[in-house]
Amino acid sequence: MRTIAELETAARRRLAPAHYDFYAGGAGEEETLRANEEAFRRRVLVPRVLRNVGKRDLAVELAGSPLSMPVLLSPTAFHRLAHPDGELATARAAARAGTVLVVSMAATTAIEDIVAAAREVTDDPALWFQLYLQPDREFTKAVICRAERAGVKALVVTVDSAVFGKRERDHRNGFLDLPPELSVENMRDDTGRVRDIEMPAELTWTDVEWLRTISGLPILLKGILHPSDARLAVEAGVSGLVVSNHGGRQLDSAVSTMDALPAVASAVDGAIPLILDGGVRRGTDVVKALALGASAVGIGRPALWGLAAAGTEGVTEVLEGLREEVDRAFALCGAADPAGLTAELVR
Ligand code: FNR
């Protein structure tokens, strides 16, 4: 099995340079992009021993969805730029691995087709739907109803994007829109027109309350870094948070997610599960995040590298490679299950 770094090299060879840059890049100086990975390297593990780790169980449950391991696929845009099968390939790999795929609002495949692809693999796949609340409430409602009808199990509202981050690689490459043969299929309105995704600058906590009145699905907020916002989210009754800086693509010089995690975890104090994403590339990264208070991690770019390198098989390679590394890291840290990972293991 190839490492994520090897898959990135393979992906880079296959992708048009502007598309590689769209996936790889971040905002501004890309300080936050780098900081996410560096924050893992700066932390070391101080393992415990003699703890009988002969039978290990990596499974977790999040917002009512079972995961075979504490790794899920964070929402990323435009999978059909990476591979002709696009989101269908990603959904099959996630279903095969028994984990959650968070489908992006900017997916290039209709949500109904994505769910159908996952159902070819398993009866009851766990697909969540990520959205940016659109200024047009009726349209937002229609998108949510459509996702619910298709069978998604939770909504992930991205809140770190009041405006678009400035991705300078894309500006330099002139990559500002999808090629004409692709479109964001879940943004079709009832006339069949595909709308642009608008970044919701006017959003407040009242909108989160509104969302709870229109959908019975569990709601998670993605893009929380400040402990005060984490507290407000618990008060708002959401089912979970994604500690995320959007992979360094929004506010450059924002805190790395691993540096943000401990304060968020202490603010939330176990009330709701935390998912961390940003810079997770190795099983030991997963262990560090869990030890410091995450219930699971999300991966963004690694899945895109697998997808570009080899479609469903490539995403499977990423997920099964991580599973093997996570399992080994659990054993070598003296943890038989996620509860066995505690903050004392990380320095
Ligand atoms: C993203 N991300 C993202 N997030 C979101 O809420 N909606 C989206 O449509 C996208 N699109 C997107 C595209 C690409 C190319 C990337 C790289 C990222 C952010 C994503 O969900 C996640 O937060 C980061 O990717 C995590 O960091 P890593 O794993 O890529 O380091």
Residue position matching structure tokens 């069949």 = 192
- Closest-CA residue, ligand 1 atom 15, reads 23
281 is in an annotated binding site: yes
Percent of the chain surpassing pLDDT 90: 99
pLDDT in tens, 11-41: 999 999 999 999 999 999 999 999 999 999 9
What's the pLDDT score for residue 1? Answer: 86
Write the CATH number of the domain with boundaries 4-345.
3.20.20.70
Kindly tell me if the per-residue pLDDT of 322 is higher than 90: yes
- Whether 167 has a binding-site annotation, put simply, is yes
Indicate the average pLDDT of the chain. 98
Q: What is the distance in A from the centroid of ligand 1 to the CA of 311? A: 18
Is 246 in the active site?
yes
Asked if residue 321 has pLDDT above 90, the reply is yes
Q: What is the pLDDT of residues 108-165, one digit of tens each?
A: 999 999 999 999 999 999 999 999 999 999 999 999 999 999 999 999 999 999 999 9
pLDDT for position 161: 98
Per-residue pLDDT, averaged over 270-291, amounts to: 98
271 phi/psi in degrees, rounded to 5 = -65, -40
Q: What is the pLDDT of residues 70-111, one digit of tens each?
A: 999 999 999 999 999 999 999 999 999 999 999 999 999 999
Interface pTM (ipTM) of the complex? 1.00
Instruction: Give the burial string for 285-311 (b: 16+ CB within 10 Å, else e).
Output: bbbbbbbbbbbbbbbbbbbbbbbbbbb
Ligand 1 atom closest to residue 37's alpha carbon, by position in its atom list? 31
The structural domains of the chain, with segments of one domain joined by +, span 4-345
User: Does the pLDDT value for residue 213 go beyond 90?
Assistant: yes
Whole-prediction pTM = 0.99
Half-sphere CA count of 53, side-chain side, radius 13 A: 21
Of the residues 19, 79, 83, 246, only one is catalytic, namely: 246
Asked if 70 and 60 touch (Cβ cutoff 8 Å), the reply is yes
Give the mutation target among 178, 249, 275 for probing the ligand 1 site: most ligand atoms within 8 A of CB.
249
Q: Is 334 a known ligand-binding residue? A: no
